Amino acid sequence: MSKRGAKGVLTVNVSPVTGKLTSIRAVNGDEDAMIVTNEGIIIRLSLEKVANYGRNTKGVRLINLSDTDAIVSKVTIVEKENNEEVVDNETEE
């Protein structure tokens, strides 16, 4: 039950078991995601193949990182009708 002055809705359940949340983004599912690490690992995957969950979940792990790895860039790629790609970039500073 929510009381007056509630602060919102819990979206992701972050715990020591799930690890840190690095990014959250609303997508349609027809996009691709590209993740780049500081070790030079680059993955591109179709978001159609990623499991779809409701809110207040533990999320979906897209890449396994070692203790020395860090994500330096996350990109969402949307393909237009004329086979052009539009990139929505999120680079870590």
Specify if 80 maps to a domain.
yes
Number of domains observed in the structure of the chain = 1
Specify if 13 maps to a domain.
no
Specify if 15 maps to a domain.
no
- Distance of CA 50 to CAs 10, 60, 63, 77, Å? 21, 8, 12, 15
In the chain (93 residues long), the average pLDDT of successive 10-residue segments reads 68 77 78 90 88 74 85 82 65 52
Specify if 64 maps to a domain.
yes
Q: What is the maximal distance between C-alpha atoms in the chain?
A: 50
Specify if 74 maps to a domain.
yes
Specify if 3 maps to a domain.
no
Specify if 4 maps to a domain.
no
* Parent domain of 78: 32-91
For residue 83, the model assigns a pLDDT of 64
pTM: 0.66
For residue 38, the model assigns a pLDDT of 92
- Distance of CA 1 to CAs 29, 43, 54, Å? 32, 42, 19
Specify if 48 maps to a domain.
yes
